[in-house]
A = this chain, B = another copy of it.
Amino acid sequence: MTIAAIQKLFREKRLKVTPQRCAIYNMMIHTQSHPTAEEIISHVKQALPMISLNTVYYTLNVFETAGLIMSINNTHTRYDTNLEPHHHLICVSCRKIEDVFDDALNQLHLSQKSDFEIRGYRVEFYGHCLNCQKPGTSIRRNKRLAITHL
């Protein structure tokens, strides 16, 4: 993907085209490593030494909102005593977690061989819980907003 193609993509998504955004996205599409914000800034700083970590987080948030990237792992650790095979429904708005018991999901396996020595797996379904489907409650303005319904 060329820089010109990245710029075109940003314009299609109604995102302003800035050197910081191009550098971040360009770095991200040229790695398989699922980088953290810190890893991103350390690469991008080679081209843009003045870039701030704040801008990286802001930009990643913009990208995710625009549907250009997805984030993996992004909230408080939660704990579960139920070790029976089961999976979770996670509300992307309020972070509520509900259990899913579904035998079909407990029989998954990889068709390809891999280097990993696999111990187990989880399926996480993302969506909006009943509460957060009501208008007005579905957008978390403050990322640190407490969850009000468990």
Name the prevailing secondary structure of the A interface residues.
mixed
The winner among A32, A99, A112 for most chain B CB atoms within 10 A is A32
Q: Report how far A110 CA is from B35 CA in the complex, Å.
A: 31
Can you list 19 residue pairs at the A/B interface with Cβ under 8 Å? A32-B99, A33-B97, A35-B79, A36-B76, A36-B77, A37-B79, A38-B76, A70-B79, A72-B78, A73-B75, A73-B78, A91-B116, A116-B125, A116-B127, A116-B130, A118-B126, A120-B125, A121-B125, A123-B124
Quick check: A122 and B115 within 8 Å, CB to CB? Answer: no
- What size tier do the contact residues of chain A reach? 35 or more
Among B63, B102, B114, B130, point to the contact of A100 (Cβ < 8 A): B114
Copies in the complex: 2
Cβ of A83 and Cβ of B70 under 8 Å apart?
yes
**Closest partner residue, chain B, to A125 (CB atom):** B121
Is A68 on the interface with B (CB-CB < 8 A)?
yes
Taking CB atoms, residues of chain B closer than 8 Å to A103 are: 111
The residue of chain B having its C-beta at the shortest distance from the C-beta of A27 within the complex is B81
Task: Indicate if the CB atoms of A129 and B104 lie closer than 8 Å.
Answer: no
In the complex where A35-B78, A78-B34, A111-B102 touch, is A119 in contact with B126 (Cβ < 8 A)? yes
A4 touches B (CB below 8 Å):
no
Q: Is A108 an interface residue (CB 8 A)?
A: yes
> Knowing that A28-B81, A102-B111, A118-B127 are A-B contacts, what are 14 other residue pairs whose CB atoms are under 8 Å apart, sorted by A's residue number?
A28-B79, A32-B99, A40-B79, A60-B79, A68-B83, A69-B80, A72-B97, A73-B73, A73-B76, A89-B114, A89-B118, A104-B108, A119-B126, A121-B126
